[in-house]
Amino acid sequence: MSEKLVGAMTNMRENEAIEIAKSLVENGEDPIKILDDCTKAMETVGKRFEVGEYFLPELMMAGEMLRQISEMVKPKMRGERVLQKRGKVLIGTVEGDIHDIGKDIVTFLLSANGFEVRDIGIDVPPSTFVEAIKDFKPQVVGMSGLLTLAYDSMKNTVQTIEEAGLRDSVKIMIGGGQMSETVRKYAGADAFGKDAMEGVNLAKKWIGTK
């Protein structure tokens, strides 16, 4: 059944994917296993986008499937491990970029691992990051971006956070298909995650949880 879920998601059969996920949840399937299957599917969708097989409509549909399945799975994950909040993570896709699949996967994985996450969306200007940091008071800020234009946006956002006097209060990680150590240095971030789980592990490391 889990292979069918991955296949339905990767091949844009939305109704089928939702019905399979619903059946898995109702039959008591491990929520983490369902999440793993969603992650596998999203990775495949991302690869197909990178090689030009899929385009923005497919990315948006995949993101919608992930959101719907997430809403089904979350109530089943409210055990002690999730209720014991590890810390706060603020996440958003930087200004000029509207990709959200990677961000959504990281957000879901962070939530599943017990973090309190505030997702401030896509195409987020630096000032909005600053306002959200002041209001939410996270220990970690995640900046997502798939396009190369995100490099300058990430750098501008980090600089704006620093100018607001908030840089020392947060650890900043960046993520996305084009990110690298070179981009991390250029942007002034503390680290970059090559995949969603690395983002979770960075948050655990910085906030001091295992």
Query: What are the boundaries of each domain within the chain?
Result: 2-77, 84-207
pLDDT of residue 16: 96
pLDDT of residue 173: 97
Topology of the domain covering 2-77 = 1.10.1240
* Sheet with 116-119, edge to edge strand ranges: 116-119, 88-93, 140-144, 171-175, 191-193
Condensed to tens digits (0 to 9), the pLDDT of residues 81-106 reads 444 567 999 999 999 998 887 888 78
Measured at the CA of 76, the angle between CA 101 and CA 100, to 5 degrees, comes to 10
Q: Which residues of the chain have pLDDT under 50?
A: 80-83, 210
CATH 3.40.50.280 fits 84-207, yes or no: yes
pLDDT of residue 200: 85
pLDDT of residue 122: 94
Q: Give 3-state DSSP helix, strand, coil % of the chain, rounded to 5.
A: 60, 10, 30
Q: Which residues of 106-142 are buried (b: 16+ CB within 10 A; e: fewer)?
A: bbbbbbbbbbebebbebebbbebbbebbeeeebbbbb
Condensed to tens digits (0 to 9), the pLDDT of residues 178-188 reads 789 999 999 99
pTM summary value:
0.67
